[in-house]
Amino acid sequence: MQHTSEPTTMSNFITSADIPYEVISFNEGEMLFKEGDQPQGLYVLKAGCVKMFVNREHSRGRTTSPEYVTKLLSPGEVFGYKSLIFNEPNLAFAKAIKKTTVWLYKKDAIVQLLNSVHPIVRSILEQAVLDIRGFEKTSQLHYLASVQERIAYQLVVLGDRFGVKTDRGISLNLKLTRNEFAQLASTINESLSRHLTEFKNEGLIDLNGKEIIILNREGLAEKSGNF
């Protein structure tokens, strides 16, 4: 295909590599892909608007719809790359909310490019995707979860990542101040202390200064509200 001269954008940088692509049009309301679909390739939005969202049907009435919108894409933006980086099914939905045209770079060609980069560059890409997913998860927690759920979620995540198994349970001893822990859970010290005491009284955790011992991980996961 012949490419016309356009202002420099991320999408134009991609086309300059002369990678073959397919032009696809979608009507308003049509799905580009769904959660669980195998990725077809890398998308570049050329015209229209695409809504990215995840299914939060277990959000217990905090939204009027199970759809939680993570982003609205405008022309020039690139998407679909997160699943390609880790070679896994799509974790979100993409829907055209007006008549939309995209360029689709086939999966095989993009994966070949990804596999050809230096391992350090590959590590940077993977970490960037993990950071983006973490930010998206945090945004959902801020909107959908209660303070108690956010605190329980952070305990589960920190325990899984940094906890040490002991005879008493999973020891989480990161030397975090209560203020630092409250910041991670997007709350204030008073709320954090109150809910930690509640968790202790329910037998979910034990407290020893700055050390937190997770006694019942499954119970905390349930308190996190399916996040």
Ranges of each domain in the chain: 10-122, 145-223
195 with 147: CB under 8 angstroms?
A: yes
Characterize the bridge pairing of strands 93-96 and 50-55: antiparallel
Q: Has residue 107 got a pLDDT over 50? A: yes
Q: Has residue 57 got a pLDDT over 90? A: no
Q: Which CATH architecture describes the domain 10-122?
A: Sandwich (2.60)
User: For the residues 160-180, what does the mean pLDDT come to?
Assistant: 92
Of residues 64 and 169, more confidence is placed in 169
pTM over 0.75: no
Q: Has residue 5 got a pLDDT over 50? A: no
User: For the residues 73-96, what does the mean pLDDT come to?
Assistant: 95
User: For the residues 168-183, what does the mean pLDDT come to?
Assistant: 91
- Rounded to the nearest integer, the mean pLDDT of the chain is 88
Residue 78 identity: V
In this structure, what are the phi and psi dihedrals at residue 206, rounded to the nearest 5 degrees? -130, 155
Return the CATH fold of 145-223.
Answer: Arc Repressor Mutant, subunit A (1.10.10)
* pLDDT (0 to 100) of residue 110: 93
pLDDT band at 105; cut points 50, 70, 90: very high
Give the helix ranges, DSSP H, for 117-216: 119-144, 147-162, 178-184, 189-201
What are the angstrom distances between the C-alpha of 111 and each of 71, 82, 87?
Answer: 24, 12, 8
Query: Which range, of 7-11, 75-79, 158-162, 203-207, averages the lowest pLDDT?
Result: 7-11
Query: Which range, of 103-107, 155-159, 174-178, averages the lowest pLDDT?
Result: 174-178
Beta pairing partners, 96? 50
* pLDDT (0 to 100) of residue 126: 96
User: For the residues 68-81, what does the mean pLDDT come to?
Assistant: 94
What are the angstrom distances between the C-alpha of 52 and each of 70, 80, 88, 95?
Answer: 6, 10, 17, 7
